[in-house]
Amino acid sequence: MSDQDALTPRVIIFRHGETEWAKSGRFTSFTEIELTQAGVAQVFSVAARLVGAGRLLDPRRLVQVFVSPRVRAVKTLELLLSAYPDVVAGKVTYTEDITEWSYGDYEGRKDQEIRLLRKKRGLDQEKEWDIWLDGCEGGESSQQVTERLDKLISQIREMQKPYMCGEKPADVLLVAHGLILRCFVKRWLGLSIDSPLQMILAPGAMAILSYKKNNINEPAIHIGLALPSEEESKF
């Protein structure tokens, strides 16, 4: 990791571990679903390999943790940082700003099922349904999702702005859901939610956002990141 990478504040996004509905491809927003045993193992594996002093996610460098209040996200955070309760004490905020896109009438359904139901009702005759653009009946629109994510992004940038050159550690951790975190990446980069940026974020997966040239006005995504060296882990 370069000196710039080590100094620049980061936003670490983490998707909750596997659930039965995620495994089967069912849309899950407000329904409370527990992690599967495989989901628990996914999070424990990341915690053992990537979380700790001098590792990719160093709890000592966190100034704030934002978590979706859904039980699958809350449990994921508990497992991810179980060895560091004292380090993150007082830094955790449970917020609806980072809950999953509300799927409304489509909750619990699979993608193809939604498409067939919509066509039976006379919708989408000229183009396929696109959640990024069309939103969900009885749920959220893309504009509503954009507004709540933009509010959170502004809050994060206010936190990190004074420390762009490493004056003190200012990493932020988000623990949430697959679709909303991909939306967050787009808004972080200044893209509209319906921009054609194809992304994959598997259950129990981590990604890292930051800024180019230590500049608050140049938000960026790490498409590759070297692991910290022992020297860089000291601050």
Strand partners, 92: 65
Give the active site residue among 16, 18, 107, 140: 16
Is 21 annotated as ligand-binding? no
Output the six-digit token pair for 79: 């497992």
Is 100 an annotated catalytic residue? Answer: yes
Is 100 annotated as ligand-binding? yes
CA-based torsion, 79, 161, 10, 217: positive or negative: positive
Residue 117: enclosing H or E segment and its boundaries? helix 111-120
CA-based torsion, 112, 116, 117, 121: positive or negative: positive
DSSP letter string over 22-69? HHHTB--SSS--PBPHHHHHHHHHHHHHHBSTTSSB-GGGEEEEEE-S
Are the C-beta atoms of 204 and 42 separated by less than 8 Å?
Answer: yes
Is 101 annotated as ligand-binding? yes
Is 115 annotated as ligand-binding? no
Give the active site residue among 18, 100, 107, 140: 100
Is 167 annotated as ligand-binding? no
Output the six-digit token pair for 95: 């917020």
Question: In the 8-state DSSP scheme, what is residue 231?
Answer: T
Is 222 an annotated catalytic residue? Answer: no
* Catalytically active residues, by annotation: 16, 100
Residues annotated in a binding site for substrate: 72, 100-103
Residues annotated in a binding site: 72, 100-103
